[in-house]
């Protein structure tokens, strides 16, 4: 059950991050899920000690975890845009 919740929340987080970074038209639902989950892992690694949130794969879904996952997904999309276009938007 935790995997299904992680996929759904990862899809929503990835979709929100793609709207913020204006890459929503280029991504499908599968890439939104991947961006959300990988962004959550990246955010929990980089921002978890500062903000105190975990990752969505651990099963704790409080506001700090969702904020860390969203910020991690935005950072991930900024890095992808930087390598793809040579600049971050």
- In this predicted model, which residue has the larger pLDDT, 51 or 88? 51
- If pLDDT is split at 50, 70 and 90, which confidence band does 1 have? low
- If pLDDT is split at 50, 70 and 90, which confidence band does 89 have? low
- In this predicted model, which residue has the larger pLDDT, 28 or 72? 72
**What's the pLDDT at 87?**
60
Measured between alpha carbons, how far is residue 33 from residues 22, 50, 51, 52 in Å? 16, 25, 23, 23
Our measurement of the distance from residue 49's CA atom to the centroid of its chain's CA atoms, rounded to an integer in Å, reads: 17
Residue 51 has pLDDT above 70, yes or no: yes
What's the chain's Rg over C-alpha atoms? 12
Alpha carbon distance 49, 19 (integer Å): 26
């Amino acid at each position: 059950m935790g995997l299904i919740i992680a996929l759904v929340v990862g899809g929503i987080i990835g979709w929100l991050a793609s709207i913020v970074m204006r890459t929503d038209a280029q991504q499908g639902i599968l890439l939104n899920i991947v961006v959300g989950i990988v962004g959550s892992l990246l955010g929990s690694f980089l921002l978890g000690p500062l903000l105190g949130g975990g990752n969505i794969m651990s099963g704790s879904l409080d506001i700090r975890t969702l904020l860390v996952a969203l910020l991690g997904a935005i950072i991930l999309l900024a890095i992808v845009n930087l390598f793809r276009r040579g600049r971050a938007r």
